[in-house]
Structure 1
């Protein structure tokens, strides 16, 4: 069965007033986004009131987190906060969780950054405790039953395996840290084939139930895709031009070109849910119009 497209946007609140956040949320709804999410970083406003404010000022989109840093929160209290969020957003909540990746933020809050495996263990603990708390009759109840949809996002084996077995939505970040360049670099189309196959193998009987989400890194509107190469080069410094333009996580061309690529991505990988960052919100809004 081919899933319908869903599109999400992550709003950024740095230096943002209440009025500005409300305006951005309403604009995202007007552009046709299905999910409006808040991130979890120390230089931004708290994701919890941000999500409630979005819900209070929109009607159609679902609202959520993309994504909460599992290391920043007591997991039992986090489950309580999420249940409250689902209540106060009238059952529109989607929960995004991740391991966290910004080392200075861990230092600032007094949490050891640790090795990747340690951060994954914290994520496992968060998922386990959230599931346990939501099942506990004495805990606050969610509107959505048995719980709001859970999105777990990552690229490595352990996070994707956890997501495939526990989440309703598997978030494919489509990028990994490249020590040679000191930053994240994107996965090629072929590498994404392997990641999706891994998720499906781990999901087993759940494979047909899991929604696949992709975090897009850039949306560049142009009638000359070749002209976008230099602006996209930082995402894949060593990739040949055809592989860079063909990577699922970068989108360049006219709205119709990109709409066609989204159809190709869905046909090839089964990825039907695309999330963009706020800096691509307006451009990708034109793509949403072309798709629909």
Structure 2
């Protein structure tokens, strides 16, 4: 089993000062990483945001969970992220996905292709990016991208490029992740393009056990090397978590009992959450836990107890 580590996904900072204070706090409290997301709502740039966090910290790893492959040509993204990794002296993790949020596509006027096409394009994009990070001239003739004799510049600080994160909830993307990723983020199935009842129903424990098995079957002996990540919906440290779950579960078409077993929901006392995380690692191989910025202080005792264990 991989040791536990914890990351934070930051939403929209209140101010530049607040963001810098949060980045320093996250590092001081023992979190391993700080990520932003890649959406067109009121969040900040998914390249500039991590660059500032890296500049003001000394050990914190930074990145984006996850870049939507459809939003940037892979040659551009390879250059941008290699520059980030170079400036951060290797303290990055590169997350990429196929894109899913319908609102992003409709508002930006980007065509929303069916999932299979988006996944295929994401796979090609990652192959191009890795090729450009190799330091060798790249010739690539794919269905979606063609590269002719291009050498990636600058090269990342990390030889061959930083660790790759692929997130997903469907069988094909997780099977490809088992081949291509160093870290796999187990997600619900977001085929509907929104976070609602469909996504919630795909988040029950049995579905996550199935996803873990898909990865294990596809990865074979390599499975032991892959770090499994959970990007949580909620991390609620409370003596009365049951009443909170009872209130929100029906809105997602779940019973309170089902909500409590959703791997992306952490709820209860510090002891309760530590026990949940041990069960999740045993059941799903999940050791890399992502929470969100409003939960940083409350989850600090869990991080202090489990990080590295």
TM norm. shorter chain > 0.5: yes
Deviation of 1:177 after TM superposition, in Å, equals 5.0
Deviation of 1:196 after TM superposition, in Å, equals 0.1
8 Å contact 1:219–1:284 — kept in the other structure?
yes
Deviation of 1:235 after TM superposition, in Å, equals 7.1
Judged with a 3 Å threshold, the aligned counterparts in structure 2 of structure 1 residues 149 and 231 are, in CA distance, closer, same or farther, namely farther
Partner residue of 2:239 out of 223, 231, 239: 223
Judged with a 3 Å threshold, the aligned counterparts in structure 2 of structure 1 residues 154 and 197 are, in CA distance, closer, same or farther, namely same
Deviation of 1:277 after TM superposition, in Å, equals 2.1
Structure 1 stretch displaced more, 276-285 or 57-66: 276-285
Structure 1 stretch displaced more, 167-176 or 100-109: 100-109
Q: Distance in 2 between matches of 1:160 and 1:253?
A: 30
Residue 203 of structure 2 is aligned to residue 187 of structure 1: yes
Q: Distance in 1 between matches of 2:251 and 2:9?
A: 19
Residue 133 of structure 2 aligns to a residue whose secondary structure is helix
Q: Distance in 1 between matches of 2:306 and 2:225?
A: 23
8 Å contact 2:86–2:157 — kept in the other structure?
yes
Unaligned 5+ runs, structure 2: 137-150
User: How many residue pairs end up in the alignment?
Assistant: 289
Residue 144 of structure 1 aligns to a residue whose secondary structure is coil
Q: Distance in 1 between matches of 2:252 and 2:229?
A: 21
Residue 165 of structure 2 is aligned to residue 151 of structure 1: yes
Partner residue of 1:20 out of 4, 8, 18: 18
Q: Which residue of 2 aligns with 1:171?
A: 185
Unaligned 5+ runs, structure 1: none
Write the deviation string for residues 133-164 of structure 1: whole angstroms up to 9, x where unpaired. Answer: 11243322111122100000010112111111
Aligned 1:1-292 pairs, distance under 5 A:
2-13=1-12, 16-43=14-41, 44-137=43-136, 138-139=151-152, 140-176=154-190, 184-185=199-200, 186-233=202-249, 236-237=252-253, 239-292=254-307
Q: Distance in 2 between matches of 1:235 and 1:162?
A: 33
Q: Distance in 2 between matches of 1:81 and 1:71?
A: 15
Q: Distance in 1 between matches of 2:217 and 2:98?
A: 22
Q: Distance in 2 between matches of 1:64 and 1:282?
A: 21
Deviation of 1:130 after TM superposition, in Å, equals 0.7
Structure 1 stretch displaced more, 29-38 or 210-219: 29-38
Deviation of 1:118 after TM superposition, in Å, equals 2.1
Q: Distance in 2 between matches of 1:269 and 1:107?
A: 35
Deviation of 1:105 after TM superposition, in Å, equals 1.7
8 Å contact 1:196–1:269 — kept in the other structure?
yes
Judged with a 3 Å threshold, the aligned counterparts in structure 2 of structure 1 residues 115 and 177 are, in CA distance, closer, same or farther, namely closer
TM-score by length of 2: 0.87
Note the aligned Cα RMSD (angstroms): 2.1
Deviation of 1:236 after TM superposition, in Å, equals 4.1
Residue 141 of structure 1 aligns to a residue whose secondary structure is coil
Residue 208 of structure 1 aligns to a residue whose secondary structure is helix
Judged with a 3 Å threshold, the aligned counterparts in structure 2 of structure 1 residues 94 and 144 are, in CA distance, closer, same or farther, namely same
